[in-house]
Structure 1
Amino acid sequence: MTGSDRATTPPGTGGAGTTPAAAGVTTAVVVGAGLAGLTAATGLAARGVDVTVLEARERVGGRTHGLPVAPGHQVDAGAAYLGERHTELLALVKDLGLDTTPTTMLGAGRFLLGREDTTRDGRFPPLNAVALGDLFEQLDVLTAAVRLDAPWLTPDAARLDTLTAAAWADRQLTHPDARLFFPLFLGEMMAADPADVSVLHMAFYLRSGGGIRYLNAFEGGAQQDRIAGGAHQVCERLAGRLGARVRLGEAVHAVHQDEDGVTVHSTGGAYRAKVAVIALPPLPADAVQYRPAPPVRRAGERTARGCAVKATLVYPEPLWRAHGLSGWSVNAEGPLLSTVDDSPADGGVGVLTGFITGNEARRFGALGPREQRTAVVEQAARVFPMLPPPTGLHITDWVNERYSQGCYAALRGPGDWLRYGPTLTAPHRRVHWAGTETSTEYFGLMEGAVRSGHRVVAEVLARG
C-alpha cells in the first residue's frame, strides 16, 4: 500500500470551533496515543490540521491504564494523581465532562522499617525527626538552585549532573534513619533507584513537580485527587473526538523527511504528512529510525527506565478503615515499599495499591508470576495482619512494558541533562517532540504530558 493511499484520512475535527491551520501545515502524523499525543492531536485537529494518530498498543492511554476490579469499577494501574496546581489537566478533565475524587487518607498508617512495626497517625514515619529534617533541608537547597527552564544551566550543573544521587547520599547523609528513608522517598517520588539518577535530575524533578512538600502531599498537594473512574478516561474521550483518525496496533519504526514533508512508516503502512509529532518516552523514541538522523539522540547509555510496578490488591470493601487505618504504609523491605487506599469513592470495593519501585521493581520484575503473587500476598499479610487475603490481585509491570519502557518517566542518569537537555524540545526539521519528559514543568506527571501537547500545537501552527 502506498504512502498516498495511507495518507487519505478523515478531515480534522471541524465544527464551529475549528480555525484555519497555519499556512503550509495541513497534515500531521502523531506517534503515540497517550496524554501528550492525544492532547497535541486534538489541538491540531481543532485548528484545521488533518491528523492521523498511530499507536502501537491495542488501546489508547500510554502510561495511564484502567484496571477493572469489580463490576462498574476501574482503578488506575498507571498514572493516577493530580492536584490544584495541575491547571491544564484539570481544565481538560472539566472539558471532557469528567470529575475528580479526593484521595482518602483518614486513619493511621502502618510502618515496617527495620525492626520497627508501628501503627501511628498520619504519614510521617517513626524515624529520627531531626535526621529526616536535615535530609529535607539539604534537598530543599538543591532544588532551590535548579534552573527550571534550563536545568543544564544550573550553577554547578557539570558537577551535579556527574554525581549520582546514591553517591550524594553516601557523602551527605550520616544518620542511619536518613540513609534508610532516602531511597524509599526517591522511589515514591520518582520511581528511581538513587544509583540511576544524577543529583541534577533528582533536584530538577522535585522542583519541577512543585517542590518536595507539594509533590509529597495528599491534601493540598500533587496527590490530592484522582479522576473518578480512572485517569485512562481522559485519553479515551480525547480519542473519541478523533474517531477513525486514531489507528491502534500500528507500531512506528521509521520517520523519513525530505524537502516537502515527512513519511512515517508503521506496521500498517506509510503515512505522508507535512509534520510528525513523536509523543513517545525517550527510550522508545530512540528505537525509531530517523532519516536524516537527529543531531542528538533522545536518551543515552545512562538513561534508565522509570522503575515502577503497581500491585493492585482487591477486597470486598475497604476493610482496613474499620480498624482505624488509612491503608497507607511504608516498608523498608519489598516488594511493597508503600501502599495507599485507591478504593472508589462509593466504597463498593476495597483497593489497596502497592508501589514497587527502584531496584526492588527490577528484582520483582525478574520473578515468575506465581512468585510475584506469593511475595505480594505474604507481605500484605505482614503489613496488614488484621485483613483477610485479597480476593483479587493484579500486577502491572511498567519496567518491562514494551512500549513505555518504564514509569513514571525516564530517569536521567549522569551526564544526560548536559548532553540532551539543550535539544529537549527543539524540532528536528519537520519532527516535533512531545511527552512528559519534554516538559520542564511537572516533568514525569500527567500535567507535564498535557502541557507538552499544548506546546507542540503552538510550535506546529507557528511554522508558517
Structure 2
Amino acid sequence: MTTGPRTPGRSAVVVGAGLAGLTAATGLAAHGFAVTVLEARERVGGRTHGIEAAPGVRIDAGAAYLGDRHTELHALAAELCLKTTPTTMLGASRFALTDADADADEQPATSDGRFPPLDAVALGDLFERLAELTDAVRPDAPWLTPDAERLDALTAAEWAERHLTHPDARLFFPLFLGEMCAADPADVSVLHLAFYLRSGGGLRYLNAFAGGAQQDRIAGGAHQVCERLAAPLGTAIRLGEPVRAVHQDDRSVTVHTDRGTYRAEVAVLALPPLLADAIEYRPALPQPRSGERTARGCAVKVHLVYPAPLWRDHGLSGWSVNARGPLLSTVDDSPEDGIGVLTGFVTGAEAHRFGALTPERQRAEAVDQARRLFPMLPEPQGVHITDWLADPYSRGCYAALLGPGDWTRIGPALTAPHRRVHWAGTETSTAFFGLMEGAVRSGRRVVAEVLARG
C-alpha cells in the first residue's frame, strides 16, 4: 500500500482498526493525509480475528466468507497478495430437526444437498413470503420502502406468528434467521430482515456456498487483510486506546482517550452503532446511532479441531442444521491440507444461553453434540469458543440488529457526517450490510466524502 506526500494541514483520526477503519485510513494516507488510528483492542482486525488451531494454522474466529459479488473485498485481497480458497461442501448433510421436547437420543437424518428434510410445501411458502418482502424493500434507502413504518414496527417473530402456519415453517424460520444474520426473530424488525436479505444479494445468494456469498474464504484467514492494511501505517496505529470523547469546533476535531488527545482536521468513526453511542460528543449528535431496541448480533463461534476432516471419509460434508443447540449449524472450515476444523454456529437466543455457561460446560455440550451428528469423530484435539456477544469492543456479531423503529428513525442519518465526524463500518453500508464487503465499501465511501470536503 503506497502513501502519498503529506499535504500541510490535512490530517485525520480514525477510530477503529477493523476492515472499515483501516480501509479508510490507508485510503486517506494514500491521498496525503497524516493519519492516526485509535483501536480499543490490543490487535487490529475488529470482527475479523484469527486464532491458532494448530501450530502454524490460523482459523477465522470472526468473519470468514466471501463470494464473487464481493468485488471490493476481492480487489483488496488481490492488492494485498492474498488468495482465496473454496468452502468445501462435498458430501451429504446432517439434520437434527426434532423439536426441543422430542427424544434427545433420536438419530440425525442424512440427506443429499442442503435442503432440510421438512415439509417442502411449507418451506416453499416460507421462502416465497421472504422473497416478496425482500423484493419490495428499497436497498439504497430502506426507510423509503413502501409501507416502511408498518414493516419497521413489526418484529420478525410477530410476522412469523401471523403468516407461518405449518409447524415445519415455524421450526425452520428462527434457524434460518440465525444462520443469515445471527438474530433472534424477536430482536429485528421485518424491515431489517427484508433489507438484510436484499442488501446481501438476495435470499438465494446470501444462503449459498458455491456461487453464493459463502463460496470462498481468505486462505490463511480473513484477519490477514487487516494485518496487511495496518503494516504500512506502523506507529500511526495506537492499540489499547478506547475512545471516550469526540469534541469539535469550526477548525478541528479532538479525540480523547485515557492516554491522550488527538487533534485533526476530520475524524472517521468506524464503530458499531452501540459503541459509537457510548462516546461523548461535543456538540452532541443530532441523532443517536442506535435505538432502544437495537440489539447485539447474537453469535458465538465454536471450532472443533480434529486430526483430519474425518467426516469426508464417510461421505459427509460437515454441514448440519439443528433445532437444538448449542450448535445450530456446522460447516467444514478445514484448511486445504492438514487438520480438520468443524465450525459450529451458536446464534439467536441460544447464543445468550450458551454464553452464560461455564467454559467447561460449553466445551462438553459442543463436543457431545458434534459426536451425535458425526459419530465417527474422536475427542477433538482442540476446542475454541469465541463469544462475540460478550466482546466489549464489538457488541455482537455479525452486525448490529436493528429492531422495531430503528430504520425509519435512524436510517436517514446513517451516513450523514456530524460536522467534521464521518461514519464508517459495515452497519453504514446499504450494500452488503453486515458483511466484510460492506465494511470495505463503507471505508471507500468515507475517503470520497473527506476528499470532497476540499
Q: Which moved more, 1:312-321 or 1:373-382?
A: 373-382
Which residue of 434, 437, 440 corresponds with 1:450? 440
2:2 and 2:128 map into 1 onto residues whose CA distance is: 50
Matched, 1:392 2:382: yes
* Unaligned stretches of 5+ residues in structure 1: 1-11
2:304 and 2:250 map into 1 onto residues whose CA distance is: 54
1:151 corresponding residue in structure 2: 142
- 1:316-343 deviation line (CA, Å, top 9, x unaligned): 1111111111000000000000000000
TM-score between both structures, scaled by the size of structure 2? 0.97
User: What is the CA-CA distance between 1:427 and the residue it aligns to?
Assistant: 0.1
Which residue of 233, 257, 280 corresponds with 1:266? 257
- 1:20-53 deviation line (CA, Å, top 9, x unaligned): 75xx860000000000000000000000011000
- 1:147-193 deviation line (CA, Å, top 9, x unaligned): 11110000000100000000000000011110000000000000000
2:107 and 2:450 map into 1 onto residues whose CA distance is: 56
User: What is the CA-CA distance between 1:377 and the residue it aligns to?
Assistant: 1.1
Which residue of 57, 73, 78 corresponds with 2:57? 73
Matched, 1:418 2:408: yes
Matched, 1:401 2:391: yes
1:404 and 1:342 map into 2 onto residues whose CA distance is: 23
TM-score between both structures, scaled by the size of structure 1? 0.95
2:329 corresponding residue in structure 1: 338
Matched, 1:432 2:422: yes
Q: Is the 8 A contact 2:6 2:34 kept in 1?
A: no
1:366 corresponding residue in structure 2: 356
Q: Is the 8 A contact 2:13 2:268 kept in 1?
A: yes
Task: Report SS of the residue matched to 2:128.
Answer: helix
- 1:303-326 deviation line (CA, Å, top 9, x unaligned): 000000000000011111111110
Which residue of 98, 115, 118 corresponds with 1:124? 115
- 1:260-281 deviation line (CA, Å, top 9, x unaligned): 1000001220001010000000
Which residue of 82, 89, 92 corresponds with 2:66? 82
2:235 and 2:9 map into 1 onto residues whose CA distance is: 21
Matched, 1:106 2:97: no
Q: Which moved more, 1:245-254 or 1:444-453?
A: 245-254
Matched, 1:173 2:164: yes
1:6 corresponding residue in structure 2: none
Q: Is the 8 A contact 2:310 2:376 kept in 1?
A: no
2:257 and 2:269 map into 1 onto residues whose CA distance is: 13
Q: Is the 8 A contact 2:107 2:372 kept in 1?
A: no
1:4 corresponding residue in structure 2: none
User: What is the CA-CA distance between 1:230 and the residue it aligns to?
Assistant: 0.1
User: What is the CA-CA distance between 1:73 and the residue it aligns to?
Assistant: 0.9
1:149 and 1:176 map into 2 onto residues whose CA distance is: 35
1:248 corresponding residue in structure 2: 239
1:388 and 1:112 map into 2 onto residues whose CA distance is: 20
User: What is the CA-CA distance between 1:117 and the residue it aligns to?
Assistant: 2.1
The amino acid across from 2:441 in the alignment is R
Task: Report SS of the residue matched to 1:189.
Answer: helix
1:97 corresponding residue in structure 2: 81
Task: Report SS of the residue matched to 1:294.
Answer: coil
Task: Report SS of the residue matched to 1:97.
Answer: coil
User: What is the CA-CA distance between 1:375 and the residue it aligns to?
Assistant: 1.1
Which residue of 379, 388, 396 corresponds with 2:369? 379
Matched, 1:356 2:346: yes
1:430 and 1:209 map into 2 onto residues whose CA distance is: 30
1:7 corresponding residue in structure 2: none
* Unaligned stretches of 5+ residues in structure 2: 99-105
2:38 corresponding residue in structure 1: 54
Task: Report SS of the residue matched to 2:398.
Answer: coil
The amino acid across from 1:455 in the alignment is R
